[in-house]
Structure 1
């Protein structure tokens, strides 16, 4: 019996076996080792319309069903799926993808920027995430941050450098509550070096570390929280940026 703490979120249990394991709800199947998780539904829609995708499985939840597709890129098979928004759902999705047989992941999506000068579409490689969410505390011991897989970070950096694509290697802030990103909390995160804010990175990093799989993430600068007023910057309409980032993610994932 582990020790009761003042706050339940700090009651980490090192027992690796859960009462419900992913293989209790999904079956291992014949899948490629590489999988891209993207938060760009319009890119997936475009690929479907171009007949580039074949559905091979589904991530089922009580409210949302997210298809898992296979495609071919540069002569190699690779999977792609739409990510579940928020740390808890993203963690469960990653768990089931791993149980199905995937072992190498690149996650791509947008993030809010916390510091001035980061243009819409500028790429950010999060090498560590501030754990201001809940799910990571059930996978690794409590700490202020969780690091991204260093091999994955290195591969991403080398690929972007070879392509002459500018990027920032930075700390990100993962939060469960985007409507509670207050001025003081933003200032605190900026003071500790956070450049972006999003809702999944800490969970992805913790689950992949716990399950011993390789996962990296590439973010692009989206809405701006660095000014007096929030600025959406119409990031969601930048279709070409999103398509290019998915293509880059395919290339990187196959190098992991």
Structure 2
């Protein structure tokens, strides 16, 4: 096959090579252009792809805008959770965007990234809404391939998984451990693709975990991904209900539980 016919994503990568464009470069220039102070972000940061948490923090006055977060594409709100300061970044939807933000968080002083994303139910997990601690994710996206050689799964590392055992026992909303399917194309969740995911033991579908775990494995960063199962892809009537205040309080409680267990 001629090289021009090979999908670039499938061309072998040099995983040991240093990148030319680095998050530090972007953040430096963003601070210069926008006159931002060089202020570290909180040790614990939360990715909020739906934006429900940041909207709640802004609307209620519970959160404060971080003065030094220099991302061109997002804002960060900080909130105190019973003695733990957490930075929350909203709207980082999809694998490329989530990893872009995670890289910039690490460069800005964050030591633990927690992602809580909405997800569709693939296999029964009990009543919804509920949370899934994602222990492994099918790599049906493109970003992870730039961090790790091709394989079927990205995984939460065993040490972190072990430290989270029992962390969620006292939370009001259940948290189960399971596998997810990370896709770049939510509107291409065909019957055959869903059946294959079910056969692989997947319980939910989302858009970020496989790439975030690959980034973590490649860089040594600490990342924990949870899925908030809120829907069955709108195939059974009323759907996408997260609970009180769009599930904000439950998601923050889960994020705090992770921070306490790994602190």
Question: Which is worse superposed, 15-24 or 25-34?
Answer: 25-34
Residue deviations 1:145-187, cap 9 Å, x none?
A: 1101334333444211244753321110001111111101110
Inter-partner Cα distance in structure 2 for 1:156 and 1:90: 22
Inter-partner Cα distance in structure 2 for 1:59 and 1:110: 23
Which runs of 5 or more structure 1 residues have no equivalent in the other structure? none
Superposed counterparts of 1:5-154, under 5 Å: 7-10=7-10, 11-27=12-28, 29-56=39-66, 57-60=69-72, 65-116=73-124, 118-154=126-162
Which runs of 5 or more structure 2 residues have no equivalent in the other structure? 29-37
Classify 1:202/1:78 alpha carbon distance in 2 versus 1 (closer, same or farther; 3 Å): same
Cα RMSD, aligned residues only: 2.5
- Higher strand fraction (1 or 2): 1
Q: Is the 8 A contact 2:136 2:180 kept in 1?
A: yes
Residue deviations 1:190-221, cap 9 Å, x none?
A: 10111110111111111122221111122121
Relative to the length of structure 1, the TM-score reads 0.86
Structure 1 residue aligned with 2:191: 183
User: Which has the bigger relative contact order, CA under 8 A and spacing at least 6?
Assistant: 1
Matched, 1:196 2:208: no
Deviation, structure 1 residue 6: 5.2
Residue deviations 1:70-100, cap 9 Å, x none?
A: 2222223221111411111111111111111
Structure 2 residue aligned with 1:230: 235
Q: Is the 8 A contact 2:131 2:174 kept in 1?
A: yes
Q: Is the 8 A contact 2:9 2:142 kept in 1?
A: yes
Classify 1:59/1:184 alpha carbon distance in 2 versus 1 (closer, same or farther; 3 Å): same
Q: Is the 8 A contact 1:120 1:235 kept in 2?
A: no
Tell me how many residue pairs correspond in the alignment: 247
Structure 2 residue aligned with 1:248: 254
Inter-partner Cα distance in structure 1 for 2:50 and 2:180: 19
Match of 2:244 among 239, 242, 247: 239
Question: Which is worse superposed, 173-182 or 7-16?
Answer: 7-16
Classify 1:39/1:6 alpha carbon distance in 2 versus 1 (closer, same or farther; 3 Å): closer
